[in-house]
Amino acid sequence: MASISTWFRYMAHKLEYSLTLSLKSHRKEKLSDKELIQIVCKNLVYGKITFLHSSDKGREMAPTMGAHENTLLIRKIPIANTRYLFVGDAVVLKDPNDSDKYLVRRLAAVEGFEMVSGDVKEEPFVIEKDQCWVTAENQELKANEAYDSRTFGPVSTADIIGRAIYCLRTAVDHGPVRNSDTAMGQDSPVLAVELDVEEMAKNHKA
């Protein structure tokens, strides 16, 4: 059972998420102030800021995730920018080569970062505005074996839909996903309130 202080922190995150999304809709759809308030209140009462996701099979994210299918608890990101995403986070993003599929990769660099290759033939470059660089976690994979930015290049930050905060590999092998210290601090009250391992196990495909 989460403490009162944890619930307050959780509700603050939930309110920020709801307000951010509602204001985006307000600007796009020109909602009235009354409609805006109704949406915010509805999201606060009924909405969640996480969802379950079955991750892609493969070795790219080992050892955090197993080689078989994993069930992940994903924290939704209201706006994919450096206020909500941090280098070191395990993020869920649209596959650059197939927008109907999603990948889980580590956020390695964001706009403004200079990228330097170990290959002297490759010139350094700077990540452009609204772009980022994502990498596979498995250190045993060579660059040409890992399906990440070393293969497909920088990706649009807007293609990131959330951050993985808990991973269920099997019914007896599960735990929080290691992210940046800032992200883990922000996500701790969300995990305390919205994590339901039994529900994750029900949705898990062995």
Dump pLDDT digits (tens) for 97-130: 998 999 999 999 999 999 987 777 888 999 999 9
Catalytic residues: 60, 105
More confident residue, 201 or 23: 201
The predicted-structure confidence for 127-174, as pLDDT tens digits, reads as follows 999 999 999 988 888 878 889 999 999 999 999 999 999 999 888 899
- pTM reported for the whole predicted model: 0.89
Tokens of residue 34, six digits: 């009354």
Phi and psi at residue 117, in whole multiples of 5°?
-90, 155
| pLDDT tier for residue 66 given thresholds of 50, 70 and 90 | confident
> What are the distances in angstroms from CA 3 to CA 6, 9, 165, 195?
5, 10, 20, 15
